[in-house]
Amino acid sequence: MKIVPSLIFLIVGHISFAQKRMDTTISKQILDSLKTENYRLKKDNKRLVYENRLLLKGNSIDTTYPKKDSTVISYFTKEKTLLKRIIKKYRSPDCEAFEIEEFFNDQELPEYIEYWTCDCRKKNEVAKDEIVFEKLLSRYERFVYDSMGRVVTRIFIYSGSMPGPRRFEYKYDIDGKATTQMKRISENQFWD
């Protein structure tokens, strides 16, 4: 007889505990971390898509020196379509000031551009607590085009303390005259 009440107590206790709802909400901090990680993965994936396109279609490289203080490296397909261009500007022969890396679409229009700031200082030229970097990404932008090759969206992000990401949307009338609308976006929306 003592078994039946204990069994009932055990079953009722188990059922009431099982119906207790667990909190399934995610904190804002975790959600923001997930969004940031998602953005970082999208960015890395897109960068790999551009680099893989270069590896698959790239056939020739041309280096030019348009000025004494600059170098332009261009990557082409077999059909001589421009895939990628790197522009390097120098302060002195052994000191690179900045670098621009441009990726192009099949119509040779720039699709994604990275702007790099370079540091030529040597370790013995800086304070002990200062960090010497080779290149630092200062800005990047991407473009979306319509079927006529006109820019319909331009999105850019400045690294550091500059204003947040901006999306410019262009609409064209029958005469081809553009109207622009600017929106502030979060960094996570760069590839959307």
Residue range 55-66, pLDDT digits in tens:
999 999 999 888
In a domain? residue 11? no
In a domain? residue 23? no
CA-to-CA dists, residue 167 to 149, 182, 186, 191, angstroms: 18, 6, 10, 11
3-state helix, strand, coil in the chain (%, to 5): 25, 40, 35
In a domain? residue 41? yes
In a domain? residue 6? no
Number of domain units in the chain: 1
In a domain? residue 70? yes
What's the predicted TM-score (pTM) here?
Answer: 0.76
Residue 128 region by backbone torsions, left for phi larger than 0, else alpha for psi between -120 and 50, else beta: alpha
Band (pLDDT 50/70/90 cuts) for residue 181 is very high
pLDDT computed for residue 131 by the predictor? 67
**Quick check: 64 and 86 in contact, CB under 8 A?**
no
| Residue 20 predicted with pLDDT over 70 | no
Instruction: Identify any residues that bridge with 145 across adjacent strands, giving them in sequence order.
Output: 151
Q: What is the rounded average pLDDT for all residues in the chain?
A: 83
Give the pLDDT mean for 53-77. Answer: 91
Q: What's the CA gap between 179 and 125, in Å, rounded?
A: 49
Q: Where in the sequence is the domain holding 105, given as residue range(s)? A: 28-189
pLDDT computed for residue 12 by the predictor? 58
In a domain? residue 94? yes
In a domain? residue 17? no
DSSP state of 21: P
In a domain? residue 145? yes
